[in-house]
Each structure stands twice: as C-alpha cells, then as structure tokens.
C-alpha cells in the first residue's frame, strides 16, 4: 500500500518569538535602525546582542555582522590572511565557504572528508605539511564535528590558525566545549535556515583582543568601536583603527532586536531538533541500503538537518530515489548530482578555484542525501517522512545498493 503524501513544508521555520517582534517594532518606531544611531546613555540592540551572545557562547568578544559569509571574510582578513595565501577547508561544504576564501584573494585547498562527513584528519595533516598553509577555515558542515582535540593538536604542530565556520553548529559542543570556542574565531550565521533567524545576519566571536579590534574596524565601525557590547578595550584599537579598511558589513538594530530573545531559546531548541533527528535516524537505520553517519560520544550535535548515504548508488537510481520521495512530499537534496541545485553544490561547481582531485570525498558525495528538519515538524511527521524515504528507496531498487 503506498504511503500517504507528506504535506509539511521543509522551508517553514518557527515564528519569531513575540518578544523579538515587540523589540523590532520598538526599533522601527524609534527610527534608530543603524547600530550607532543612539541617544545619550542608550545601548543599541546590536550592542546588546553582542553582549548577550558572547555570554551565551562563553566568548570574551562578539561582533554582529550582516551575514555569516561576512563573518568568515572579516575573520580571515582580521587573522591576516592575504592575497595568494593558501587556506585549507573541507571538501564537503557549501559554496559560501570556499567563496569567502576566494573573496579575500586567497587560494582554497580542499581537504578530504570521511564517510562520517567530517574532515579527514590524516589528509588535513598531510595537506598542511605539503602546502605550508597557515590557515584552516573549518566547516562544521551540516552540524558534524570532527575530533576537535586531535584537530587542534595537528593545527598546533603545523602552525595552522583555525577559524571555525559554525553556521550549522550554533549550540553544538565537543567534550563539553561549544563549537566556535576552539580556534581563533567562531563564525555564526543567523540566516533564516540556521539556528537563530533574522533573515540574514552573522556573529563573530573570539577571545583575542587584537583580532577582534581589527575585525570591528573592518566591519565598518567609523571609529565608534566604544559602542559595542562585547568588544575589546580602547588600547586594542590603537593600530587597527588606522590600518583596517571599512567593509560596511554591520548588522542593524532591527535584525538584532529579532535575535536577542532567540538566544534564550537556543538550548531548548537543540533538544527539540535532536528529538526529531534521532526519531528519524532510528527509523532509517532499519533500511538495508541506508547508512547514517557515526557520531562519537564526545559530540553534542544540533540535528536541524539529517544526512545519510547510500553507498554504491548509481546516478540514475539516485535521481529516481529523489524524484520518488519528492512525489510523496519529501524534499531530499543529493550531493552527487552533476549540476548544482538550490543550496546544494560540490567542489566541481566552484570554478573560481583550481580543480582538485578528491577521490574519497567524491565517493561519499556520490551517495549522500540531505534533508532539513525544521521545528515546525513534530515526531509524527518524522515517522511519516521515514516511511516515505524507506518506501522511495525500495521503489528505486536500493535494497541491495550497499
């Protein structure tokens, strides 16, 4: 008997909290949308957001920015990545990550991934040694954390500065330490499909005063760096205020007002996301063709999406599988497609960088499927989605794919 069609939306996010709506309305009524447009004694919403997020993250400093992509670009510039420098990053990531490297004039060098979708640390060690790269933009892609203790040990031994792309790991942790707290800086996104929603937006955190002073001037502070809620002391800006160009990448007060109440909901939302993720994962593990990534016990993940592989699948069957699931209302993304689609692409589509041989990654991506899990779904939805995926896999003849 065919499965009933799923009617939920994979792009419908939870509503903004009422406190955020009220705060945003207050900002609009004031007319003070620009983060530095404050009255005497007034703290802007952007400055208050920086203070609140730094406290939640456990970081000394936080800078509110226009996007997660700007957070990565500014982080690299503030870390003194220069034109022509080699920056290592994951071969499995989304286009804004190598795009940020290219945007600062650097050269992306891609590191292989494992079947569990994390950075291959042996390849990282080898490529750091072979290229002499001094930087790693580590993408915690789709919320999967590699062994952060071993990664940081390799980075220290090779003299590599680590900048973490935490767009998918806001609230995740390794051995009790929050994602974004291992390297020089953590880059976060508040784009609609991330863990806090302001449409677009980014947050940059660090414990390094000199780095954050440079980042603040780069963001476009117009020498008003004393109006930041979680910034360094004035002495840290002595050189940065004259050395750094203005990139005009600030967050405005309207978006900050939407975000501040969401910080208090983050930890509870992690529990809610993981309940949905784990319910679906438990059911998909029963299908003989489907493999779920293995997550180590040190990892506290945020299951706002789910990934699985069908090892050995051929392109025609992968396309049929995706089409069959879509016909029943389930939106799967396939990373093995020849052409990019929507938010999904692979290194073969990033023609602004040199082509690179990545046989291990290509083998994983050939059978990799990805799906969002918005909090607007409930556990019964997850049961229904799992049934549809399993039935679509069987219809596409995937039972013996592994």
CATH, residue 314: 3.90.1150.10
Question: Looking at the structure, do residues 355 and 247 belong to the same domain, yes or no?
Answer: no
Work out the mean pLDDT of the chain and round it to a whole number.
Answer: 96
Question: Looking at the structure, do residues 245 and 285 belong to the same domain, yes or no?
Answer: no
Domain boundary among 232, 263, 294: 263
Percent of the chain with pLDDT strictly greater than 70: 98
Question: Looking at the structure, do residues 53 and 135 belong to the same domain, yes or no?
Answer: yes
Q: Is residue 64 part of a domain?
A: yes
Q: Is the pLDDT of residue 233 over 80?
A: yes
Q: Is residue 210 part of a domain?
A: yes
Question: Looking at the structure, do residues 252 and 103 belong to the same domain, yes or no?
Answer: yes
Q: How far apart (Å, rounded) are the C-alpha atoms in residues 11 and 8? A: 9
Nearest Cα to Cα of residue 252 among 29, 14, 67: 67
Q: What is the pLDDT at residue 401? A: 42
Q: Is the pLDDT of residue 402 over 50?
A: no
Question: Looking at the structure, do residues 237 and 338 belong to the same domain, yes or no?
Answer: no
Contact, 263 vs 56, CB < 8 A?
yes
Domain boundary among 213, 236, 263: 263
DSSP 2: P
Helix (H) / strand (E) element for 22: namely: helix 18-30
Alpha carbon 143 to chain centroid, angstroms: 7
* Cβ-Cβ contacts under 8 Å for 156 (sequence gap 6 or more): none
What is the domain extent for residue 147?
A: 18-263
Q: Is residue 6 part of a domain?
A: no
Q: How far apart (Å, rounded) are the C-alpha atoms in residues 128 and 111? A: 9
Q: Is residue 5 part of a domain?
A: no
Q: What is the CATH number of the domain that holds 172?
A: 3.40.640.10
Identify each DSSP E strand in 84-140 by its residue range.
Answer: 86-90, 107-111, 135-139
Question: Looking at the structure, do residues 237 and 332 belong to the same domain, yes or no?
Answer: no
Q: Return the residue matching tokens 């509110």.
A: 64
Percent of the chain with pLDDT strictly greater than 90: 94
Question: Looking at the structure, do residues 212 and 329 belong to the same domain, yes or no?
Answer: no
The pLDDT tens digits for 175-190 are: 999 999 999 999 999 9
> Number of structural domains, the chain?
2
Nearest Cα to Cα of residue 161 among 174, 151, 169: 151
Question: Looking at the structure, do residues 86 and 166 belong to the same domain, yes or no?
Answer: yes
Whole-Å CA distances, 172 to 54, 302, 369: 15, 6, 22
Q: Which long-range contacts (CB under 8 A, 24 or more apart) does 123-131 make?
A: 123/360, 124/88, 124/151, 124/154, 125/154, 125/158, 127/88, 128/88, 128/154, 128/155, 128/158, 128/160, 129/158, 131/86, 131/88
DSSP for 319-380, please give it: HHHHHHHHHTT---EETT-SS-BTTB--GGG-TTS-----HHHHHHHTTEEEEE--TT--HH
Domain boundary among 209, 242, 263: 263
Q: Is residue 142 part of a domain?
A: yes
Q: Is the pLDDT of residue 345 over 90?
A: no
Whole-Å CA distances, 371 to 197, 225, 322, 330: 18, 40, 11, 9
The pLDDT tens digits for 98-139 are: 999 999 999 999 999 999 999 999 999 999 999 999 999 999
The pLDDT tens digits for 250-301 are: 999 999 999 999 999 999 999 999 999 999 999 999 899 999 999 999 999 9
Question: Looking at the structure, do residues 59 and 177 belong to the same domain, yes or no?
Answer: yes
Question: Looking at the structure, do residues 242 and 286 belong to the same domain, yes or no?
Answer: no
What residue spans of 220-297 are helical by DSSP H?
A: 240-243, 253-263, 266-284
Contact, 337 vs 310, CB < 8 A?
no
Q: Is residue 401 part of a domain?
A: no
First to last CA, the chain: 25
Question: Looking at the structure, do residues 174 and 321 belong to the same domain, yes or no?
Answer: no
Question: Looking at the structure, do residues 22 and 166 belong to the same domain, yes or no?
Answer: yes
Q: Is residue 4 part of a domain?
A: no
Q: Is residue 321 part of a domain?
A: yes
The pLDDT tens digits for 136-180 are: 999 999 999 999 999 999 999 999 999 999 999 999 999 999 999
* Cβ-Cβ contacts under 8 Å for 274 (sequence gap 6 or more): 301, 302, 303
What's the pTM value of the predicted model, to 2 decimals? 0.96
Rounded to 10 deg, the angle between the 253-263 and 45-57 helix axes is 30
Nearest Cα to Cα of residue 144 among 112, 169, 113: 169
């Amino acid at each position: 008997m065919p499965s009933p069609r799923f009617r939920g939306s994979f792009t419908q996010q939870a509503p903004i909290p009422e406190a955020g709506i009220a705060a945003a309305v207050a900002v609009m009524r004031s007319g003070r949308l620009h983060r530095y447009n404050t009255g005497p004694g007034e703290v802007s919403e952007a400055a208050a957001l920086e203070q609140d997020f730094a406290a939640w993250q456990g970081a000394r400093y936080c800078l509110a920015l226009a996007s997660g992509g700007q957070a990565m670009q500014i982080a690299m510039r503030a870390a003194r990545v220069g034109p022509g420098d080699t920056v290592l990053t994951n071969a499995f990531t989304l286009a804004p990550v190598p795009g940020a490297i290219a945007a600062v004039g650097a050269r992306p060098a891609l590191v292989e991934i494992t079947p569990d979708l994390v950075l291959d640390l042996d390849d990282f060690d080898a490529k750091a040694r072979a290229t002499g790269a001094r930087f790693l933009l580590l993408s915690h892609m789709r919320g999967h954390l590699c062994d952060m203790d071993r990664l940081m040990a390799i980075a220290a031994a090779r003299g590599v500065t680590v900048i973490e792309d935490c767009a998918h790991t806001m609230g995740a942790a390794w051995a009790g330490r929050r994602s974004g707290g291992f390297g020089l800086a953590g880059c976060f996104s508040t784009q609609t499909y991330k863990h806090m929603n302001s449409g677009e937006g980014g947050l940059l955190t660090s414990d390094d005063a000199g780095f954050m002073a440079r980042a603040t001037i780069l963001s476009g502070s117009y020498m008003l760096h004393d109006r930041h809620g979680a910034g360094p002391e004035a002495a840290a800006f002595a050189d940065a205020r004259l050395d750094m160009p203005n990139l005009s990448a600030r967050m405005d007060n309207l978006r900050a007002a939407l975000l501040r109440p969401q910080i208090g909901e983050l930890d509870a939302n992690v529990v809610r996301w993981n309940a949905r993720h784990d319910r679906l994962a438990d059911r998909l593990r029963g299908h003989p063709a489907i493999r779920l990534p293995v997550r180590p016990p040190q990892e506290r993940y945020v299951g706002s999406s789910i990934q699985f592989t069908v090892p050995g699948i051929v392109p025609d069957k992968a396309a049929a599988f995706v089409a069959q699931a879509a016909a029943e209302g389930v939106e799967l993304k396939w990373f093995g497609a020849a052409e990019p689609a929507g938010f999904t692409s692979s290194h073969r589509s990033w023609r602004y960088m040199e082509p690179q041989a990545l046989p291990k990654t290509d083998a994983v991506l050939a059978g990799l499927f990805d799906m969002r899990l918005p909090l607007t779904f409930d556990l019964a939805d997850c049961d229904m989605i799992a049934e549809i995926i399993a039935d679509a896999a069987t219809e596409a003849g995937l039972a013996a794919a592994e």
